[in-house]
Structure 1
């Protein structure tokens, strides 16, 4: 199936391909694959012909495993044979780059990369480019705005490149499930290309709205864009949904049935905490698995990817950090503990499976906590107007460039959100990255509230579509195809709606008990802060450097993370409701945490953090622990001038500044602390930045407490 762009260029056919080009392309393909009996799949040769003979801009929307990389590597071989310059591939992930370099080498194509992990090789790579020794250069979209690369190397590359490839092109569109602001810079790059430079953009996950947006970006400079779109159904996948409300049931099903699934695969979780907890539980149950998340070190990621490719593990329990770029053609299954926020994102992840096998199993086990997690990530990814205005104002008023660290003491925006916001403002032309930080461009800029509102509404609709997918009584593959505007959708004949469920829904009681034991095991380490944030003097706080041992809190404990599969769900419900006394089962779990703490010296007394939102909950928890542990509850610290100010979720510097000077040890509490023989157990409801606990601990230490052991019901992260 093909569909033209808005300018309606003629759709190509195999009959239009020159026989000589067909022969050269086939030879290059067979060298790439390493077999003499392979031929092009439907649409591949047509795309190559449009790039090489037509020198066009082409968007290819094809299912995962169709062979998009074969198109650009064969086109590269043909263009280089014509004397053209190197192909430049903009690729989003290091894992994808590694696979692409390996594939290029098999075809006799010299491929190199410039990325954040090989800075020591940049000089040698630049030399090879200058000498014409490089066939393919892979760069990350972030590299396009590196001041040195942007100013010194990119202009020459744009002038000389023989083909520009934009991989995972749906990232260009903020309507898509995986929008990345750095991809918007590609539009600027396209306007600098010579007239006849061909451009290829590829994706497997773009509905009609995203395709329209991507085509508009690719058409920069007034060029027409040809869209080649194929059917997105994956004949090898057996889709299914197993709704189990309780987290221990979902984990128990995995414990009981993981080894029954074909080959090796991926178990996706929505949060880092869930992935790590599930991996531990499965290993404890005897399964060969490992966790793979955004916290996994780059070298460890490579090792784990290879272990999965070589079937040394049954599964990687992963977040979306293992997604685009990972290629294992015989991946046997993909399971989800919790649903992604849209069918498009789901299709992207399940498409990792069954690329070179007759059958691969795909099972979704949604949870009631999914919507809370979707809401959190959606709010974190959308720029807020007040924060955007504050950043532009701060840079406009500064006589010099400001680093991200310096900006954090001027605008109250958390680091990850600030970095995203700067990228958005950069793409919009309001700020500019330079050596040493960021500056304002002085160009007029207005927050596009209407656009962001439409994007937010679109994402809410996609979340509802994910719920509809879970509940549909129609073919699941056809449902996914329709959400991607694939009009070839028809019943697949394999999913649990077309035929009887292919999976065993039974869960042995022993597995449930094992899972429950793991998930209900309370206690998470609450690390102490070691250093004050830099630049606190700008906020009127006289603190810098390391936190002195004489005022520091000790390592603490939380009952659970709010993102945990077990206690996390119950704590979210408790903290979302009206203030009330601590439930008995929560108090008992906290006692278990205390019993397993392993402290060097037992607490001698309990003090609580003063809570304005949940005084009954925090006070009853502290009093209850005191009664059960036979420890005196000395009361709470005092609020000064109403207590801490500001909103939760801000950056570290502002969170500390908002707490500093807003809490105090009252006279009665100070008297009780005088001469206390052991550590103080400090109780609070939720820990986010840990600055409230850190400041309280310093005040208690100054008042005579020999040590402070913090304990909270929940951790935000």
Structure 2
């Protein structure tokens, strides 16, 4: 199906009685008036909204609505719900991806007299009560997260009853169904099963604001599962007349941070500042607060209660901005959001369009600004490493499950396969949808069903991601209309110059920053030092791979809390360290500016809470020597760092924790915690001369390494040093991965 096959609208059925149609339209407008109260004339459905509602209520069709953010997709399914319930239909089930979206929708439904409830990870204590309310018929709308669809108990006991009783199924943010989409989520693919089990006369509505022609065709095809007819596709133009797009290119991270501090108050209303990483969001929010701005951070690490408070503060204009990762994305509804700023460039124009679509839904003008940085592509590369695993790893996982006599949980499976936990879980969800594995109580089992590795599809998806990244490079350097460019990326055939963006109408913001703001930003970003929490528990399942370690690491074998110069994801020291520690970077002695910063970290560490100058039980004494971790990739860098620290601190360089030759030949696993510990357990050793030096030194040591990506090298090395006679181990690294 091509974009030409996807009509912007569809005619009303010829057989419809005009009087019935007029009565239904009047009822629909009455519900809308309750849903969207206004001070003047009551709100009235637009023709395209009414066509979607008519298809659901009068024709019981399956429909896909691809319309820009703010078009009113939620009005369609709430109005349709009210009309269907009036006519005796069962409850509407809405599959919704984000908690923020669910909260907004429950509140919106209540305005129209619709009783909505939600089942998600934040309210497990309410699930039983809610399920009873659904069974009793008192719930009009049930919102569920896609993850619930493959929870064994929900899938096997609740979902079949829902499928039998549902009056309308709504799939919100439906682009997540398609693995051609920018935000594919395996849990959403479980909907194919639910669609097949629905009665053909149960209407289904799928909605999204971000689907190109291929994704639209894929979702429409899936909607037709279990029926004889095609899904109705209602696709409209994607222009957002209120948005003024612009790109501000600044030389470095400090200048971008200073620009925000100087110009944030010039942006209209309140808004969102997006960053690419959690570390950057927390760093930027902290700095802007120090500069007098009312902002809060919002990331995947933010506790649910704090997220709710942050959302309410933004909705109530009590903060100027939320500094957020993509955790604040689909579904957050603030019609008067005045701006969206990206500090760092997203890797996909479709994802970018979706995020900027949060702004300007209920105001005449909103500013949308992109401040790209040189670190963006390194961050894209890091996130791209989570792609679907190669076939040999998938086959190995299937073999492990097939040989097991019982279901294997993720912690039990992880030691047996070389995949990180999150990547392993995503892969299993895809295999579940494909029928090769099944999630049951206690974990995962192999089904024995034949399964083929779709090399062509996975390669195409990888190429698509590369094409999206190239499109964002082009967007940054663009001389033509920015909105037209984004709309063409979404296959919007009506795309035309907007007349509003910086290239069409001229830039509205200067690139100038004040000396005071720049000095403060440089001071913030150049401030070195990040705590490195030690590992305190061994990974589960080590016995399965022949390692006799389990449970809590004994106090006498743990490292103390350590320090790093910075995080690789920081926009400050991360930008300095990332090129130095890249896989292809040449080895060499540690630069002087890095040594100076490390010395600063050591001085602050000694005097700070838990530092060896504090005399606490957790930090019993000053280090009496330096030990390095032998490096296979960067021996000059790590060795010179240890030597310089020993020289500055007037301590002896006691030696190195070495790798045994057999381990160097075999190589190392860097996939998940259990595999990493399995490799390191037999790979690292304390040479006899270092053991003797530790005994003679009679105190704690600094353990120096270049990079900590998981913390397990430091944990295993610290254990060996403690067992060899060190009275404490203070880890010190240049960078941590997180």
* Residue 477 (structure 2) aligns with: 471
Equivalent in 573, 579, 591 of residue 587 of structure 2: 579
* Residue 566 (structure 1) aligns with: 572
Q: Secondary structure at the match of 1:709?
A: strand
Equivalent in 644, 649, 657 of residue 629 of structure 1: 649
State how far apart, in whole Å, the 2-side matches of 1:3 and 1:673 are.
Answer: 71
State how far apart, in whole Å, the 1-side matches of 2:11 and 2:63 are.
Answer: 11
1:368 is aligned to 2:374:
yes
State how far apart, in whole Å, the 2-side matches of 1:690 and 1:145 are.
Answer: 32
For the Cα contact (< 8 Å) 1:659–1:695, is it kept in 2?
A: yes
* Residue 617 (structure 2) aligns with: none
1:535 is aligned to 2:523:
no
* Residue 22 (structure 2) aligns with: 19
Q: How does 1:283-298 map to 2 (within 5 A)?
A: 283-298=289-304
State how far apart, in whole Å, the 1-side matches of 2:5 and 2:355 are.
Answer: 27
Greater displacement, 128-137 / 269-278:
128-137
For the Cα contact (< 8 Å) 1:14–1:46, is it kept in 2?
A: no
Q: How does 1:137-536 map to 2 (within 5 A)?
A: 137-221=142-226, 222-536=228-542
Give me the CA root mean square deviation.
Answer: 1.7
* Residue 33 (structure 1) aligns with: 36
1:174–1:611 CA distance, 2 compared to 1 (3 A): same
1:73–1:189 CA distance, 2 compared to 1 (3 A): same
Greater displacement, 337-346 / 121-130:
121-130
1:698 is aligned to 2:719:
yes
1:546 is aligned to 2:545:
no
State how far apart, in whole Å, the 2-side matches of 1:9 and 1:94 are.
Answer: 31
Q: Secondary structure at the match of 2:531?
A: strand
Describe the superposition over 1:120-154 as per-residue Cα deviations: whole angstroms up to 9, x where unpaired.
22222122222211111111111111111111121
State how far apart, in whole Å, the 1-side matches of 2:632 and 2:418 are.
Answer: 22
For the Cα contact (< 8 Å) 2:703–2:730, is it kept in 1?
A: yes
State how far apart, in whole Å, the 2-side matches of 1:132 and 1:611 are.
Answer: 65
Equivalent in 707, 725, 731 of residue 686 of structure 1: 707
State how far apart, in whole Å, the 2-side matches of 1:108 and 1:280 are.
Answer: 41
Describe the superposition over 1:392-449 as per-residue Cα deviations: whole angstroms up to 9, x where unpaired.
1111111111111110121121111111111111111110011111111110012111
State how far apart, in whole Å, the 2-side matches of 1:449 and 1:455 are.
Answer: 10
For the Cα contact (< 8 Å) 2:669–2:679, is it kept in 1?
A: no
Q: Secondary structure at the match of 1:408?
A: helix
Shift of 1:547: 0.9
* Residue 121 (structure 1) aligns with: 126
State how far apart, in whole Å, the 2-side matches of 1:3 and 1:447 are.
Answer: 29
Shift of 1:504: 2.1
Q: Secondary structure at the match of 1:142?
A: helix
Q: Secondary structure at the match of 2:142?
A: strand
State how far apart, in whole Å, the 1-side matches of 2:125 and 2:514 are.
Answer: 54
Q: Secondary structure at the match of 1:367?
A: coil
State how far apart, in whole Å, the 1-side matches of 2:145 and 2:5 are.
Answer: 27
Equivalent in 45, 52, 58 of residue 47 of structure 1: 52
Describe the superposition over 1:587-614 as per-residue Cα deviations: whole angstroms up to 9, x where unpaired.
1111111111132232111010011111
1:14–1:63 CA distance, 2 compared to 1 (3 A): farther
* Residue 593 (structure 1) aligns with: 601
Unmatched 5+ stretches in structure 1: none
- Relative to the length of structure 1, the TM-score reads 0.97
Q: Secondary structure at the match of 1:323?
A: coil
Q: How does 1:63-78 map to 2 (within 5 A)?
A: 63-78=68-83
For the Cα contact (< 8 Å) 2:479–2:503, is it kept in 1?
A: yes
For the Cα contact (< 8 Å) 2:8–2:235, is it kept in 1?
A: no
Shift of 1:366: 0.6
Q: Secondary structure at the match of 1:597?
A: helix
For the Cα contact (< 8 Å) 2:9–2:234, is it kept in 1?
A: no
1:287–1:10 CA distance, 2 compared to 1 (3 A): closer
Q: Secondary structure at the match of 2:206?
A: strand
State how far apart, in whole Å, the 1-side matches of 2:299 and 2:501 are.
Answer: 29
State how far apart, in whole Å, the 2-side matches of 1:61 and 1:127 are.
Answer: 34
Shift of 1:649: 4.0
1:85 is aligned to 2:90:
yes
State how far apart, in whole Å, the 2-side matches of 1:331 and 1:646 are.
Answer: 52
Describe the superposition over 1:373-400 as per-residue Cα deviations: whole angstroms up to 9, x where unpaired.
1121122143332321121111111111
State how far apart, in whole Å, the 2-side matches of 1:101 and 1:482 are.
Answer: 34
Describe the superposition over 1:178-226 as per-residue Cα deviations: whole angstroms up to 9, x where unpaired.
1100111111111111121111000000011111111111111243111
Q: Secondary structure at the match of 2:274?
A: strand
State how far apart, in whole Å, the 1-side matches of 2:129 and 2:720 are.
Answer: 55
For the Cα contact (< 8 Å) 1:676–1:704, is it kept in 2?
A: no
State how far apart, in whole Å, the 2-side matches of 1:697 and 1:494 are.
Answer: 59
Greater displacement, 430-439 / 215-224:
215-224
Shift of 1:629: 1.6
1:664–1:45 CA distance, 2 compared to 1 (3 A): same
* Residue 640 (structure 1) aligns with: 660
State how far apart, in whole Å, the 1-side matches of 2:498 and 2:169 are.
Answer: 36
Q: Secondary structure at the match of 2:682?
A: coil
